[in-house]
Amino acid sequence: MSDEVGEARVGELKTASMTLQTPHLLPVVNFYCGGTRNSLYGGGIFRTIKEFLSSHPETVHGRDYSEFFKGVMSSVAALTDFNITQERYLDYLGTPIRDRVEFSDFDGGLFVDSGGYKILQKGGLSGSNFDLNVSQKAVYGIQRAFGGDILVNLDSPLSPNDDYETRVQKTEQTAEYVREFLALTTREESRYLTIHGHNRTMIDRFLTTVEHTLNRPLKGTFDGFALGSLVPYKDDMGTLIEAVTAAKKELADRDLGDLPLHVFGISGRVLPLLVALGVDSFDSASYLHAAINGKYSTSLFDTVPLSQAIFDDCHCPVCETEALRSDMRGNTRYQKDVLGPVAVHNLAVQQFELKKIREVLQTGDQDRFRSYLEEMYRDRPASRKFAYRTINKTLEPYF
Ligand SMILES: [Zn+2]
């Protein structure tokens, strides 16, 4: 960490193979989605995203998009989305992502999620002519085969409707996966532990169960933590703030507060507040989902229907490229080529904002960070009280 402003931190996240500026947003990228080799592994809008990520000349028109893809999140579970054949599956696992000719221009960091939620819900990984029993070992094998820089254990996320018994069972199951994960991985790999729960009691119980199952302290065992089970609360700022606050406190109590904290699947209007609470990284597919729904981002908070977008107001490389503006106006043969550039624009808006936050934090000036937060939320009545509560909790109060 190079600077701390209240609880917020700015710095670098380093593994053996990559460095990311933090706080950092990792876009979700689906590398393997059906298709064939010569179509960059197919996948509709995902394909266009991959073309941007790998500087496909006809798509990027000479501009460089690498700053938006410095770190990306990919999930083992994505393999189940496109009913692939076993032959293709084995091909996907044959060469790590960054060693493939198709992705040779991509040199960003790769965080590979275990995909616990989806995999366990579906009962396994399946394709058109094969089924895999999912185990921690199988998931780790795929994470390695992808060439992941940061790996995380298989987990059994909590859902809002789980009763107490179910939560206990799921926590014990996850702790068991963690035990296997540690036996499979080595100290040279960057290992993150998933954390589940959205208040101090739940998170304390979760961490205690893991420690008990491992029979060793978490300190010195993991390189970072990833808070999960929050996607059902993505629009509930109060719960998100409570969950992150609880995780930070429980980690600090165990002398783990210096390690990086990632939050799974969250971005948008709550991002600056989670940064204020000390979150170091996030991942999100919201840039993509917004585009699929025809939404063009005008800020971290706002979208307009694509038909109403004014491209002149944006200075991202997509909106500054005439050919891509034409694509976004619908002058393409395929819908993916309309929505792909919109998704990359949406991502750029989020990445620019996070860059701005890093710059404010780099000054180390509490007043500037407070002003930034106040300005961001001033005209947003639904979020404003959460912003003030977060400011009061994390920054020195005005006198
Ligand atoms: Zn733009």
> What is the 304 CA–ligand 1 centroid distance (Å)?
13
Q: How confident is the model at residue 15 (pLDDT cuts 50, 70, 90)?
A: confident
Q: How far is the CA of 126 from the centre of ligand 1 (A)?
A: 37
Taking phi first (over 0 means left), then psi (-120 to 50 degrees means alpha), and beta for anything else, what does residue 13 get?
beta
- The strand order across the sheet containing 8-14 reads 3-5, 8-14, 19-22
Dist. CA 333 → ligand 1 center (Å): 21
The mean pLDDT of 56-67, rounded to a whole number, is 92
- Residue 358 CA to ligand 1 center (angstroms) comes to 20
- 21 CA → ligand 1 middle, Å: 22
CA–centroid distance, residue 338 to ligand 1 (Å): 13
What's the pLDDT tens digit per position in 355-366?
999 999 999 999
- List phi, psi (to 5°) of 303: -130, 160
Could you please report the per-residue DSSP string of 143-175?
HHHHT-SEEE-------TT--HHHHHHHHHHHH
- Average pLDDT score over residue span 220-245: 94
What are the pLDDT digits (tens) for 108-130? Answer: 999 999 887 777 777 677 777 77
Does the CA dihedral 159-161-167-173 come out positive or negative? Answer: negative
- pLDDT score of 2 more than 80: no
pLDDT of residue 134: 76
Distance 368 CA to ligand 1 centre (A): 27
Alpha-carbon torsion (115, 120, 121, 124), positive or negative: positive
How far is 328 from 337, CA to CA, in rounded Å?
Answer: 8
- Contact partners, residue 279, CB within 8 Å, separation at least 6: 23, 244, 261, 262, 263
Helix (H) or strand (E) holding 341: helix 336-362
Three-state SS for 327?
A: helix
Ligand 1 centre and the CA of 344: distance in Å? 8
The rounded Å distance from CA 321 to ligand 1 centre is 9
Burial class (CB in 10 A: 0-12, 13-18, 19+), 271: buried
As a whole-number percent, the residues of the chain with pLDDT over 90 amount to 76
Protein residues placing their CB within 5 Å of the ion ligand 1: 314, 316, 318-319, 345
Å from CA of 63 to ligand 1 middle: 13
Tell me the per-residue pLDDT of 237-274, one tens digit each, with 9 for 90 and over: 999 999 999 999 999 999 999 999 999 999 999 999 99
**pLDDT category, 331, cuts 50, 70, 90?**
very high
In this prediction, residue 388 carries a pLDDT of 94
For residue 347, the CA-to-ligand 1 centroid distance in Å is: 9
Distance from the alpha carbon of residue 320 to the mean position of ligand 1, in angstroms:
7
Q: What is the pLDDT of residue 398?
A: 63
Report the separation in Å between the CA atom of 230 and the middle of ligand 1, taken as the mean of its atom positions: 29
Q: Residue 335 C-alpha to ligand 1 middle, in angstroms?
A: 18
pTM over 0.85? The answer is yes
Angle at CA 326, nearest 5°, toward 321 and 330? Answer: 140
